[in-house]
């Protein structure tokens, strides 16, 4: 039981086989929730690949613009780093052109729910076959800290210097009106739970959505007066309320009252691809 | 091969099927919606799929995604929709994605007159998207040309791995004419180059000697990176002047290397002409009528009908015009293509004949302007 | 073009007990210290030395208390620490 110091050849970390190692370390800040999110996602993918539910070469990561969107830099899969807010549209086209592909869209709360909001709504409405992961850090981090649709009331950001006058958006509640197959919220403070949500979603068809509440110490933490990664992590963890199967009406994402994580919807509705096959090509399942 | 009597938009739709279209994404917009409706019905019979999306922004991004999944893809729109597609077009350029955008010009600006024509958008088609790039643009003046140039648009997109615009207008869209329909085995159909190396050696943006990089697709184990940031041959973001220059050179040079393939023009009675009318799209039909009228009066006048609005083979244009005394540029806008001709021919008098008309310019009106300058 | 996976080498600091080995790829660490605080048994201690980027990194000092829960591995944003189960 002694500390050894060695130099070893890659791959070392169990997830190294899924990473573009020449681009590691990531550009994400120390303590950024995105690295935790990516670790959970890759572990979930690994489980599904080993079970032969998914084929690694069929997976395509599609991202828009922002810190979350840089994920495509680091993963050794087919990937597309596209335009701000348009990842869902790009992914829809790819899936419809080749239904064998498995699309994973990763974006921030601004990319997916603000500029990409229209595409989000219609992809969910159609139960379009894709897995969308939204990283909620409550701010536009990459561009320096502007208001996001999820930023809490009264918070000071670079575009709300007198305090945020806007009510924030609960994307879970928004998407709950649609007939989608998976709707969950997780947190990077609870990586085991998050990995399981990713694992579940990867085994379903249709539209699957996981909101990941995440720490952004440098930008959001700074706006809240909590710049230390550990402090922000603890503050976020304090507010997490775990409910295994909450109803969408119970969803809450508030820095004052609490953040509920759990699986809000798990269904087996017909997916968009299945409906197209049925209507356009007369192929029944 | 058979003779058919159809309208311009249907010719475009049928040509796309002949060319191998597999994915169409679009949004309703007058005067182009019938292309989308026609393809919604017919494309599944060819093993493809047409989907109406929530807006034009989704449409252009979806067809880029579909192209990277290996499908020949297309969208069709008009002025207001194309304005929304500009960022997407920019993405297609930096990622070198083959797509065809059918742009049926209508009266503008803004909502204008949705059901009528204009040619005000030629510079927007050329330069509307941000950044440096060259978009090949083909402009038909007849239903036959709408068919032929749509096939050429697909071939250009696949051959040069670039977005291409088929620039029609509301006149050609719903004009019924005879045309010769040629099927798949009767025309040249070009497919994109696919990589001939295994994934570990493949670089998605490294051009071969013809200036074009082979294009892999999702799902084949190549682990490709479609990248909207400035990137090197691997698709990795490298924000340096050297890489930016190399990338811009790559995407522009590959078009210019093939200008002889891309550029097309038609001449009518220009060999002995003292005067030439330069025109394009539906305005060429007016110009031809004016040429015929003036020739009947003994005036030696000809027509230079431009089929490729961009890039221009300046030498080819100059050659036709060099022995003229005066050149007229007839167009249905405030005068835009005339600037190119003035720049290209330089020491010959170039007169703009800008006639704004909700249909094609009236030949009598054009004749009145031109005969004053003879 | 350039380095492939197989060319890369990493400096590793590791320690083990009978059942588990904790490995730290020290040059990937950004000193966020999340691993240190999520560990339920306070196995990890930040080093005095710096890695190649100027960050302190975790040392798996108290392996006698390590139960292999892998919370450090799962909470690390940088793929810098992982736990192996050793066959005994």
| Prediction ipTM score | 0.96
> A69 φ, ψ to 5°?
-70, -15
pLDDT for C64 beyond 70: yes
Q: Which of A7, A192, A230 sits opposite C74 (nearest CB)?
A: A192
Tokens at B105, concatenated: 């010009």
CATH at A130: 3.40.50.970
Instruction: Give residue C2's pLDDT.
Output: 42
- Nearest one of B136, B91, C79 to A84, comparing CA atoms: B91
Q: Fold for domain B265-371?
A: Rossmann fold (3.40.50)
Instruction: Give residue C87's pLDDT.
Output: 74
3-class secondary structure per residue, A106-148: EEEHHHHHCCCHHHHHHHHHCCCCEEEEEEECCCECCCCCECC
Instruction: Give residue A284's pLDDT.
Output: 77
Chain C 3-42, residues with CB within 8 Å of chain B CB atoms? 4
Is C14 an 8 Å CB contact of chain A? yes
Cα separations in angstroms, B35 against B5, B23, B122, B141, B144:
16, 13, 21, 18, 16
Domain assignment present for C3: no
Q: If you measure CA to CA, which chain C residue comes closest to B206?
A: C1
Is C69 an 8 Å CB contact of chain A? no
- How far apart are the C-alpha atoms of A178 and A66, rounded to whole Å? 27
- How far apart are the C-alpha atoms of A250 and A258, rounded to whole Å? 11
Residues of C in contact with A186 (CB under 8 A): none
Instruction: Express as a percent the part of chain B with pLDDT over 70.
Output: 100
Q: Tell me the nearest-neighbour CA distance from B180 into chain C, angstroms.
A: 50
Chain A 36-65, residues with CB within 8 Å of chain C CB atoms? 36, 38-40, 43
Domain assignment present for A62: yes
- How far apart are the C-alpha atoms of A267 and A235, rounded to whole Å? 33
For chain C, list the contacting chains (3+ Cβ pairs, <8 Å).
A, B
CATH at C15: 3.30.70.20
Mean pLDDT check: name the lowest of B10-14, B20-24, B102-106, B196-200.
B196-200
Q: Which of B223, B224, B228 sits opposite A83 (nearest CB)?
A: B228
Instruction: Give residue A252's pLDDT.
Output: 97
pLDDT for B29 beyond 60: yes
pLDDT for B281 beyond 70: yes
Domain assignment present for A19: no
Query: For domain B2-186, which architecture applies?
Result: 3-Layer(aba) Sandwich (3.40)
Residues of C in contact with A234 (CB under 8 A): 37
Domain assignment present for C66: yes
For residues A89-118, average pLDDT:
98
For residues B1-20, average pLDDT:
98
pLDDT for B191 beyond 70: yes
Residues of B in contact with C4 (CB under 8 A): 200
Instruction: Give residue A282's pLDDT.
Output: 87
Does residue A128 contact residue A99 with C-beta atoms inside 8 Å? no
For A78, the enclosing helix (H) or strand (E) is strand A78-81
Q: Cβ–Cβ of A82/B218 closer than 8 Å?
A: no
pLDDT for C1 beyond 60: no
> Rg for chain A (alpha carbons), in Å?
19
Tell me the pLDDT tens digit for each residue of B313-359. Answer: 999 999 999 999 999 999 999 999 999 999 999 889 999 999 999 99
Residues of B in contact with C1 (CB under 8 A): 203, 233-234
Instruction: Give residue A283's pLDDT.
Output: 82
Q: What is the pTM of this model?
A: 0.96
Residues of A in contact with C59 (CB under 8 A): 3
Half-sphere exposure of B114 (CA within 13 A, CB side): 10
Domain assignment present for C51: yes
Mean pLDDT over each residue of chain B, to the nearest integer? 97
Residues of C in contact with B203 (CB under 8 A): 1
Q: If you measure CA to CA, which chain A residue comes closest to B95?
A: A82
A190-215: string of b/e by CB count within 10 Å (b at 16+)?
A: bbebbbbbbbbbbebbbbbbbbbbbb
Does residue B335 contact residue B92 with C-beta atoms inside 8 Å? no
Instruction: Give residue C88's pLDDT.
Output: 61
Domain assignment present for A14: no
Q: Cβ–Cβ of B233/C1 closer than 8 Å?
A: yes
Chain A 160-179, residues with CB within 8 Å of chain C CB atoms? none
Domain assignment present for A33: no
Residues of C in contact with A34 (CB under 8 A): 77
Is C1 an 8 Å CB contact of chain B? yes
Q: In total, how many domains does chain C have?
A: 1
Q: If you measure CA to CA, which chain B residue comes closest to C3?
A: B200
Domain assignment present for A171: yes
Domain assignment present for A1: no
Q: Which of B22, B59, B65 sits opposite A94 (nearest CB)?
A: B65
Tell me the pLDDT tens digit for each residue of B171-182. Answer: 999 999 999 999
Residue A285 pLDDT grade (very low, low, confident, very high; cuts 50, 70, 90): low
The DSSP 8-state label assigned to residue A160 in this structure reads: B
Tell me the pLDDT tens digit for each residue of A223-251. Answer: 999 989 999 999 999 999 999 999 999 99
Instruction: Look up the domain containing C34 and give its range.
Output: 11-85
CB atoms within 10 A of CB B373: 11
Q: If you measure CA to CA, which chain C residue comes closest to A6?
A: C12
Domain assignment present for A149: yes
- How far apart are the C-alpha atoms of A244 and B366, rounded to whole Å? 76
The DSSP 8-state label assigned to residue C87 in this structure reads: P
Is B27 an 8 Å CB contact of chain A? no
Mean pLDDT over each residue of chain A, to the nearest integer? 96
Tell me the pLDDT tens digit for each residue of B126-163. Answer: 999 999 999 999 999 999 999 999 999 999 999 999 99
- How far apart are the C-alpha atoms of A206 and A210, rounded to whole Å? 13
- How far apart are the C-alpha atoms of C88 and C81, rounded to whole Å? 22
Instruction: Look up the domain containing A126 and give its range.
Output: 39-51+58-281
Q: Tell me the nearest-neighbour CA distance from A181 into chain C, angstroms.
A: 27
For residues B287-311, average pLDDT:
97
Q: If you measure CA to CA, which chain A residue comes closest to C76?
A: A36
For residues B208-213, average pLDDT:
96
For residues B229-245, average pLDDT:
97
Instruction: Give residue A77's pLDDT.
Output: 97
- Nearest one of B60, B58, B86 to B75, comparing CA atoms: B60
For chain B, list the contacting chains (3+ Cβ pairs, <8 Å).
A, C
Instruction: Give residue C7's pLDDT.
Output: 78
Residues of C in contact with A44 (CB under 8 A): none
For residues B295-300, average pLDDT:
97
Q: In total, how many domains does chain A have?
A: 1
Domain assignment present for C76: yes
Q: Cβ–Cβ of A89/B87 closer than 8 Å?
A: no
For testing contact with chain C, the best of A2, A5, A10 (most C CBs within 10 A):
A10
Residue ranges covered by each domain of chain B? 2-186, 265-371
Contacts 24+ apart (CB under 8 A), A264-268: A264/A172, A264/A176, A264/A183, A264/A184, A264/A185, A265/A176, A265/A180, A265/A181, A265/A182, A265/A183, A265/A184, A266/A181, A266/A182, A266/A183, A266/A200, A266/A204, A267/A179, A267/A180, A267/A181, A267/A182, A267/A206, A268/A181, A268/A204
Q: Which of C5, C15, C61 sits opposite A4 (nearest CB)?
A: C15
Cα separations in angstroms, B254 against A142, B49, B94, B138, B250:
34, 30, 13, 17, 6
Q: Which of A95, A97, A280 sits opposite B73 (nearest CB)?
A: A97
pLDDT for C4 beyond 70: no
Tokens at A38, concatenated: 């990516």
3-class secondary structure per residue, chain B: CEEEEEEHHHHHHHHHHHHCCCEEEECCCCCCHHHHHHHHHHHHHHCCEEEECCCHHHHHHHHHHHHHCCCCEEEEECHHHHHHHHHHHHHHHHCCCCEEEEEEECECCCCCECCCCCCCCHHHHHHCCCCCCCCCEECCCCHHHHHHHHHHHHHHHHHHCCEEEEEEEHHHHCCEEEEEECCHHHCCCCCCCCCCCCHHHCCCCCCCCCCCCCCCCCCCCCCCEEECCCECCCCCECCCHHHHHHHHHHHHHHHHCCHHHHCCEEEECCCCCCEEEEEECCHHHHHHHHHHHHHHCCCCEEEEEECEEECCCHHHHHHHHCCCCEEEEEECCCCCHHHHHHHHHCCCEEEEEECCCCCCCCHHHHHHHHHCCC
Does residue A91 contact residue A62 with C-beta atoms inside 8 Å? yes
């Amino acid at each position: 039981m002694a500390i050894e110091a060695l130099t070893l050849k890659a791959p070392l970390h169990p997830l190294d086989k899924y990473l573009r190692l020449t681009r590691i370390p990531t550009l994400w800040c120390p303590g950024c929730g995105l690295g935790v999110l990516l670790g959970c996602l890759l572990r979930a993918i690994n489980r599904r690949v080993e079970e032969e539910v998914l084929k690694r070469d069929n997976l395509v990561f599609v991202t828009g613009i922002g810190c979350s969107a840089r994920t495509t830099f680091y993963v050794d899969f087919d990937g597309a780093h596209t335009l701000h807010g348009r990842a869902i549209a790009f992914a829809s086209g790819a899936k419809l052109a080749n239904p064998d592909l498995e699309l994973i869209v990763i974006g921030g709360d601004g990319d997916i729910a603000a500029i990409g909001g229209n595409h989000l709504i219609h992809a969910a409405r159609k139960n379009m076959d894709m897995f969308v992961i939204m990283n909620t850090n409550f701010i536009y981090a990459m561009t320096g800290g502007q208001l996001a649709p999820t930023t809490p009331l009264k918070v000071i950001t670079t575009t709300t210097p007198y305090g945020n006058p806007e009510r924030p958006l609960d994307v879970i509640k928004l998407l709950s009106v649609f007939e989608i197959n998976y709707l969950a919220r997780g947190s990077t403070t609870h990586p085991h739970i998050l990995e399981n949500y990713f694992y579940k979603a990867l085994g379903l068809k249709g539209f699957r959505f996981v909101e990941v509440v995440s720490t952004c110490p440098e930008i959001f933490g700074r706006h809240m007066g909590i710049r230390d990664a550990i402090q922000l992590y603890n503050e976020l963890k304090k507010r997490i309320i775990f409910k295994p199967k909450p109803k969408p009406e119970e969803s809450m994402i508030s820095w004052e009252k609490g953040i509920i994580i759990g699986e809000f919807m798990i269904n087996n509705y017909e997916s968009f691809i299945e409906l197209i096959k049925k209507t356009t090509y007369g192929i029944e399942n | 091969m058979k003779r058919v009597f159809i309208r311009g938009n249907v010719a475009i739709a049928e040509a796309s099927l002949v060319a191998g279209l597999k994915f169409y994404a679009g949004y309703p917009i007058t005067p182009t919606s019938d292309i989308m409706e026609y393809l919604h019905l017919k494309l599944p019979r060819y093993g493809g799929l047409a989907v109406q999306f929530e807006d034009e922004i989704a449409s252009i991004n979806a067809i880029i995604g579909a192209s990277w999944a290996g499908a020949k893809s297309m969208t069709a729109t008009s002025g207001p929709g194309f304005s929304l597609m500009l960022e997407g077009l920019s993405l297609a350029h930096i990622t070198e994605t083959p797509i065809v955008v059918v742009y049926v010009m209508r009266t503008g600006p803004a909502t204008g007159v949705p059901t009528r024509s204009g040619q005000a958008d030629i510079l927007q088609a050329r330069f509307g998207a941000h950044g440096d790039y060259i978009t090949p643009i083909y402009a038909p003046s007849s239903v036959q040309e709408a068919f032929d140039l749509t096939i050429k648009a697909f071939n250009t997109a696949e051959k040069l791995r670039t977005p291409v615009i088929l620039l029609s207008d509301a006149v050609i869209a719903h004009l019924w004419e005879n045309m010769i329909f040629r099927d798949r085995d009767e025309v040249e159909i070009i497919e994109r180059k696919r990589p001939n190396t295994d994934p570990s050696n493949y670089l998605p943006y490294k051009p071969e000697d013809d200036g074009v990089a082979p294009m892999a697709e999702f799902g084949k184990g190549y682990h490709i990176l479609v990248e909207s940031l400035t990137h090197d041959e691997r698709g990795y973001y490298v924000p340096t002047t050297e890489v930016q220059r190399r990338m811009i050179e790559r995407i522009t040079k590959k078009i210019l290397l093939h200008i002889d393939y891309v550029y097309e023009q038609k001449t009518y009675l220009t060999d002995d002409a003292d005067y030439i009318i330069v025109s394009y799209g539906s305005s060429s039909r007016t110009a031809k009528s004016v040429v015929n009228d003036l020739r009947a009066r003994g005036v030696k006048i000809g027509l230079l009908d431009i089929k490729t609005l961009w890039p221009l083979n300046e030498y080819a244009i100059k050659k036709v015009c060099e022995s003229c005394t005066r050149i007229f540029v007839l167009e249905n806008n405030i005068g835009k293509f005339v600037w190119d001709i003035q720049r290209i021919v330089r020491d010959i008098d170039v007169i703009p004949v800008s006639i704004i008309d909700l249909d094609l310019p009236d030949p009598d009106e054009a004749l009145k302007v031109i005969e004053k300058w003879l | 073009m350039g380095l492939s996976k197989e060319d890369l080498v990493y400096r590793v600091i590791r320690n083990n007990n009978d059942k588990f080995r904790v490995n730290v790829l020290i040059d990937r660490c950004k000193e966020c210290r999340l691993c240190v605080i999520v560990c339920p048994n306070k196995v990890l201690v930040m080093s005095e030395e710096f890695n190649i980027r100027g960050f302190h990194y975790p040392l798996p000092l108290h392996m006698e208390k390590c139960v292999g829960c892998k919370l450090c591995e799962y909470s690390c944003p940088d793929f810098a620490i992982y736990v192996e189960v050793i066959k005994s």
